[in-house]
Structure 1
Amino acid sequence: MSSILTNDGASIALQTLKHINSGMATVQSEISTGRKVSGSQDNAAVWAIAKTMEADVVGYKQVSASLALGSSTVAVARSAAETVTDLLTEIKGGVVSAQEENVDRVKIQANISALRDQIGAVVRTAQFNGLNLLGNTDTTAGSGSEAVLGFLQRDSAGVRGVDIAVSRQDLGTGAHAIAATGGTYTSGVDSATLNATRTGTIDASGVTVAAGMAFTLNVFGTDADDSTFTQADLRTTTAAAETRAEMAAQPVSYVARDGDTATDVLRELSNRWSSYAVKSGFDEGLLSMSVSGTDLTVSSTLTDGSDTLAVSLNALGADAGNTIGGGLETLASLDVSTREGAEEALLNIENLLQTSISAASDFGTEQNRLATQSNFNDTLVDAMTSGIGTLVDANLEESSARLQALQVQQQLAIQALSIANSAPSALLGLFR
């Protein structure tokens, strides 16, 4: 049926043309913006995912900046620690030379003093953006490490930053000090007595170490006739048990840094006993110490049933207000001007070298870790950026082909609409 009032063909052709024009508008938008999803109206779900990922990409770029800053700070500290190691190696050369009798020890000591001052200057200036990782004498818990933002973690609870902890390595030369009064004092945390049984173990597994805690080893020897050793020389306390008043003056003492463990404390006390023994001229087999985990093994080749050595570990809480010393504390007292001092210096310089070598090694490890994390973050940003592009970017080859096809369809739709619009005029012929 034909009608001059209702033209179904024109309506169909018009709807087709509108649909084609809408498609052309979409394709032209993709070509002009380069995106198939440029707003939430295009595809709300995909747009929301893309925007979330774009925010993460921005966040990771800031993380990369944080890692770069942290890596630069660690690099400065590592370089300084390596320089300190080189200077200590030079000092060792002087110390070894001072072992000879026919050398000018005074001049050697002057050279060592100059190198020691240079070490102090290197340690003080090894900072980047105001942060120096070669100092760790703060008693505040957690002050022994610095946090570097390493990556972002997204889970059901949301997004949070995850830090990489970079430990400080103290290479200062300041002296430690134990407060003369106050604090929570524990005498005889554990002890061992050497007699005919010439080996004993001091167990420090029950000690919780905190920054600013002080520890001492007191030795109480018994040899009434001074046949094996001079009794007075092997008594660092008036009785077998150390008193609180005696602690501050103990020759074998250490104040813990933040991050120290019981093993670190025992190792430091063992080293300081060795230095004290050499300085005091004790027989090599009189009392030796070794550390394994939280055990300090003490041994002697000279004690017997009547000539004994009692060794005790004592602790004083950080609440006493103790002062933490530098990692190279014994460098300040290095003196080769005498034969005894030269012998003590030879022992101490080895411990100092190991401290600086360990610090440089640890900084190198941390720097590599930060570099690895930075490289991973860059790779992750690239992958996320590519993923966002897959979700929202337009395929321009496809869009170009679609546009050409739609242009042809548009022309055909216009022609079809023209034909449909001319159909009612054909009805006029019926009334002629």
Structure 2
Amino acid sequence: MSSLLTNSSAMTALQTLRSVSSQLSTTQSRISTGQRVATAADNAAYWSIATSMRADNAALSAVSDSLGLSAATVDTEYTALNKVLGDSNSGLTKLQSLLVEAKTAGIDRSKIQSEITQIQQDMKNVASAATFNGVNWLSTNASTPTTVNLVSSFSRVGSTPTTSSITVTVANYSLYTSSTGGILDTVSGSASVDSLNIGALTDSAADQTILDGYIAKVTAAIGTVSSGAANLGAIKNRISNNSEFVKSLMDSVDRGIGQLVDADMNQESTRLAALQVQQQLGVQALSIANNNSQSILSLFR
């Protein structure tokens, strides 16, 4: 039945055109943003998960930055400790060989002491210079913390976040302290490694015993400093491994978020072309339906 008051064909065509226009708007939005789920209205569950994972990734990014700062600090202290250990020409290694040389009968120990003094000053300067971002574990004072926690990871299970850290005991690496309690300035017997002086010693048995004590003291210091350098080397490797893992984890989280909310551009481009054709056909169908009344009018002519 044809009616002038109710154009059912036009109403159907209009509803179809509205539906197509709505789908076309959604598809255009996905193409412009690159996201299938851009707001909570698109998919509340996936949007919530993606939002939480983005927050976790931001925390992981902060951990990555913290690991970078920690790596630079540890590397600075590690390099300085190795410098203090020295080799045949410097540091504790050279100091030990000079003290052994001083055991030689009739040798001029005052000249050897001149070289020892230079080594002592050089080691102290190295320890003082081992500073990164205001942090120095080799030359400490009363304000230096006894332990330092280096943030190494972040994870979240449910709503419970967890951060892990690498604990560093500063006393294991402190060579000099303001209270003379460091590895090299702790006085035992009559002197410390930092203050020993052989310039006035002779070939007497008593002085030879003192020299033996100095050699033992330096040898012990070499062992302690070597142990500290080994520990820092292990921490350095751990930080490097954690840093690589955190970066890989961030990439994995990004891929996971993409699986949840990113639009398939091949699919969306195909849908866009189809919807544009449907929209054109809908406009044409609505135009035909609106012309039906004109056909009824012609019956009365």
**TM-score, with normalisation over the residues of structure 2?**
0.86
Match of 1:400 among 236, 244, 269: 269
Q: Give 2:103's match in structure 1, choosing from 87, 90, 99.
A: 99
> What is the CA-CA distance between 1:69 and the residue it aligns to?
1.0
Distance 1:396 1:358, change over 3 A: same
Residue 126 of structure 2 is aligned to residue 112 of structure 1: no
Indicate the SS of the match to 1:399: helix
Match of 1:377 in 2: 246
Equivalent pair of 2:27/2:271 in contact (CA under 8 Å): yes
2:4 is paired with a residue whose SS is coil
- Structure 1 residue 40, shift from structure 2 partner: 1.9
Please identify which structure carries the higher strand content. 1
- Aligned amino acid, residue 116 of structure 2: I
| Distance (Å, rounded) in 2 between the aligned partners of 1:333 and 1:29 | 75
SS at match of 1:334: coil
Give the equivalent residue in structure 2 for 1:163: 165
Deviation at 1:401, TM superposition (A): 0.9
Q: Which residue of 1 aligns with 2:189?
A: none
CA, structure 1 residues 18+174, in 2 after alignment: closer, same or farther (shift >3 Å)?
A: closer
| Structure 2 CA distance for aligned equivalents of residues 139 and 412 of structure 1 | 79
Q: Distance in 1 between matches of 2:180 and 2:256?
A: 52
Note the residue ranges of structure 1 that are not aligned, 5 or more in a row.
176-322
Aligned match of 1:261 = none
Please state how far the C-alpha of 1:408 moved relative to its aligned partner: 1.0
Structure 1 equivalent of residue 175 of structure 2? 172
The one of 126, 132, 135 equivalent to 1:131 is 135
Q: Note if contact 2:148-2:167 (Cα within 8 Å) is conserved in structure 1.
A: yes
1:120-150 Cα deviation digits (max 9, x unpaired): 121122111111112567599xx43211222
Counterpart CA distance in 2 for 1:111 and 1:13 is 101
Question: CA separation in 1, counterparts of 2:177 and 2:255?
Answer: 54
8 Å contact from structure 2 (residues 64, 246) kept in 1: yes
- In the TM superposition, 1:384-395 aligns within 5 A as 384-395=253-264
8 A Cα contact 2:140 2:176, kept in partner: no
Aligned residue for 2:146? 144
> Does 2:91 align with 1:90?
no
Deviation, 1:333, is 4.8
Give the percent of matched residue pairs that are identical in Structure 1 and Structure 2.
37
- Cα shift at 1:428: 3.2
Whichever residue aligns with residue 84 of structure 1, its letter is: V
Distance in 2 (CA, whole Å) between partners of 1:173 and 1:72 is: 21
1:304 is matched with: none
Determine the structure 1 residue equivalent to 2:204: none
- Equivalent pairs counted in the alignment come to 283
**1:332: which partner in 2?**
194
Structure 2: gaps spanning 5 or more residues:
187-191, 202-206
Q: Is the aligned partner of 1:55 residue 2:55?
A: yes
Q: Counterparts of 1:223-242 in structure 2 under 5 Å? A: none
* Counterpart-to-counterpart distance in 2, 1:112 and 1:171: 21
What code does the residue aligned with 1:58 have?
A
Decide whether the 8 Å contact of 1:152 with 1:159 is kept in 2: yes
What is the deviation of 1:92? Answer: 1.1
CA RMSD after TM alignment: 2.2
Report Cα offsets for 1:213-264 as digits up to 9, x if no partner: xxxxxxxxxxxxxxxxxxxxxxxxxxxxxxxxxxxxxxxxxxxxxxxxxxxx
- 1:136/1:170 contact within 8 Å kept: no
Q: Kindly indicate whether the alpha-carbon contact (under 8 Å) linking 1:335 and 1:345 is maintained by their aligned counterparts in 2.
A: no
